Structure 1
Amino acid sequence: MPFPYLCPHCGNNRSRFNLIEQVVTPVKKDAQTGEIIEHVSDQDPFQYRYHGEQYRVQCGVCGMIDSEELFIKNALRSLN
């Protein structure tokens, strides 16, 4: 379901936003060189699974980047 956004920083932008999709790539790195040794399956029992946000939102006016939830809550709060 679509929700309205309102930038919590500038407080007046309700229409211009950048949606930033967070793409997770689990990897195993060499501890000495920092080189990527292999791309790890997200089912690997030794690799903690990413539980963060799927999207971040950037205000198209002031440039603030934060969670989508913050932009939605700010918009809903302003309607009351």
Structure 2
Amino acid sequence: MNSVYCCPACKTNRSRFNLIEQVVHPIRKDPSTGKMIEHVPLSDPLQFQYQGEPYRVQCGICGLIDDERTFVAFGKQDSFQD
């Protein structure tokens, strides 16, 4: 999170971003009605554990949402020259 960001879509924003926390809530749903039956404990051996990013980044100017790696990579590629 301490890396330089640059938005790959609008290509000008280097300072205004939203961090979106991805909070996982494992659940079981009724297959015929779609209603939630229960919250599944994180320790349930039959529930695949979420392995995605803990948060995503949104450009505060154009609204693009993507992985932090995308913003960091573009920030390095398009870094300020001294």
TM range (shorter): over 0.9
Kindly tell me the number of residue pairs found equivalent between the two proteins: 80
TM-score by length of 2: 0.90
Distance 1:37 1:60 in 2: 37
Question: 1:1-80 counterparts in 2 under 5 A?
Answer: 2-79=2-79
Which residue type is aligned with residue 20 of structure 1? I
Distance 1:55 1:69 in 2: 11
Distance 2:7 2:22 in 1: 20
Shift of 1:17: 0.6
Distance 2:33 2:62 in 1: 39
- What percentage of residue pairs aligned between the two structures are identical? 55
Q: Kindly report the root-mean-square deviation, in angstroms, between the aligned alpha carbons of the 2 structures.
A: 1.3
Distance 1:37 1:55 in 2: 27
**Secondary structure of 1:38's aligned partner:** strand
Which residue type is aligned with residue 47 of structure 1? Q
Shift of 1:32: 1.1
Which residue type is aligned with residue 74 of structure 1? F
Runs of 4+ in 1 over 4 A off after TM superposition: none
